[in-house]
Amino acid sequence: MSLNAESTAFRSALEVIRAVEPRVADAIGAELADQRESLKLIASENYASPATLLAMGNWFSDKYAEGTIGRRFYAGCQNVDTVEALAAEHAKELFGAAHAYVQPHSGIDANLVAFWAILADRVESPALKKAQVRQVNDLTEADWFALRRELGNQRMLGMSLDAGGHLTHGFRPNISGKMFDQRSYGTDPATGLIDYDKVAEAAREFKPLILVAGYSAYPRKVNFRIMREIADSVGATFMVDMAHFAGLVAGKVFTGDFDPVPHAHIVTTTTHKSLRGPRGGMVLCGPELADQVDRGCPMVLGGPLPHVMAAKAVALAEARRPDFAGYAQRIVDNAQALAEGLLRRGAKLVTGGTDNHLVLIDVSGYGLTGRQAEQALLDSGIVTNRNAVPQDPNGAWYTSGIRIGTPALTTRGLGAGEMDTTAELMHTVLSQTTPGANADGTPSKAKYVLDPALAETVSKQASDLLAGFPLYPSVDLG
């Protein structure tokens, strides 16, 4: 029997790799097998198409291409220009943006490009120019303090980590927290929802240069029209990080006040997650910031990754197809079905449900920490990640929450019925897991007790559920 093109391509690739380092080939095959057998509920993961995956493994990987289209610091980049232009064209058409910069290697890189573009546009300072040519790792805390002082001690206001914000929105462990004097807005303690009046109050008091909206663990929509009005009221640049929900914007599930592109001065995103592309980042903006954004390399980035830009062009072309809108809507439908299934079984959910692709479970209702719940679920064939909940007593390492999302399972074709079954499997594991103890008998936030037979049973049930929805059915590795 003849093999199809996808199977031939991946088999041949693994054969070539195996001839050099068989352990790498084995690990690649094992990863596909693991993903096929596990209920992947990590909200920031998805499954890229074979075409997108194959676009990354080619001769573009050999090219240096610092600069921008038509203005490279290296010769021989005409083909890189082609794929970068295609990726930018698809991004602009897909999101209705005036300008797209597709070089960032990740979401963090995209945010750094945006931050420095805003600073360069808004702030005139000799210290800024010095910082751009120095090695960032050589800057001490005192250097950063002096730089912030010279830059006017520029301020950033963003969502707090425990409310669902992201590390790159001004928090100390990240470089954004060293660049800016940062303050956070949270959510209403009673509802878990953004209180826009409180955000406006914080903006009036703090007067930030940048107001950041966007999240990694907030299960509701954000009204970007109101956020832009708040930014305008204090003269702030309004930036939106839509890394998590870009696919819902591309698929026109989030429109009007909930589409950030018409309202923000600048928008950043990843290209994986709900957008279902390769791992990478992107910046969208209007013409007023385009020149500064295009200086991302060498201002923040090193050489762009042409092979990943090629894959971005493929994935963005896929997202422009009519069926992507249906996929995006099913992501939300599935998330809501999963949330309803958990609620019926007594789970405690942050905000009581979801409007988007993710659900945040407060597992303290099961008597567990997030770390205990994450590992017990993994033992049972269900892949999730622990996450802080608002005012989390266990902090960001152990946490009290589990974040789950539906982009990946929706890609496999699972629907509302399967989401209810998934909720049942998760509830079974969480309700039958108990906290463990340390060697000295004190309670542990990491150790747990779960009957291995139960874990094996649930893992088998998860595998049986997925059997009807094969992952990469066109790929047979033999």
Which residues belong to the active site?
64, 66, 241, 270, 273, 279
CA–CA distance, 356 with 247 (Å, rounded to integer): 10
What beta strand segments (E) does 87-180 contain? 99-101, 155-159
Strand partners, 405: 358
CA–CA distance, 466 with 39 (Å, rounded to integer): 7
> How many CB atoms neighbour CB 82 within 10 A?
15
> How many CB atoms neighbour CB 310 within 10 A?
25
Backbone angles phi, psi at 240, to 5 degrees: -120, 130
CA–CA distance, 145 with 396 (Å, rounded to integer): 26
Which residues make Cβ contacts (< 8 Å) with residue 234, sequence separation at least 6?
203, 204, 207, 208, 211
For the chain, what is the largest distance between any 2 Cα atoms, rounded to a whole number of angstroms?
71
Instruction: Select from 81, 7, 61 the least CA-distant residue to 313.
Output: 81
Tokens linked to 329: 């809507």
CA–CA distance, 109 with 22 (Å, rounded to integer): 33
Asked whether the beta carbons of 458 and 380 are under 8 A apart, the reply is yes
Residue 273 CA from chain centroid, whole number: 5
Write the single-letter amino acid at 245: F
Dihedral (C-alpha) 276, 321, 355, 286: value to the nearest 10 degrees?
80
CA–CA distance, 342 with 5 (Å, rounded to integer): 41
Tokens linked to 193: 């929802």
> How many CB atoms neighbour CB 319 within 10 A?
25
Tokens linked to 415: 């629907």
Instruction: Taking the CA atoms of 390, 395, 401 and 402 in sequence, report the sign of the dihedral they define.
Output: positive
Q: How far is CA 52 from CA 49, 279, 317, 329, 477, in A?
A: 5, 10, 10, 22, 18
CA–CA distance, 208 with 164 (Å, rounded to integer): 20
Alpha carbons within 13 A on the beta-carbon side of 447: 9
Tokens linked to 125: 């300072």
Asked whether the beta carbons of 284 and 261 are under 8 A apart, the reply is yes
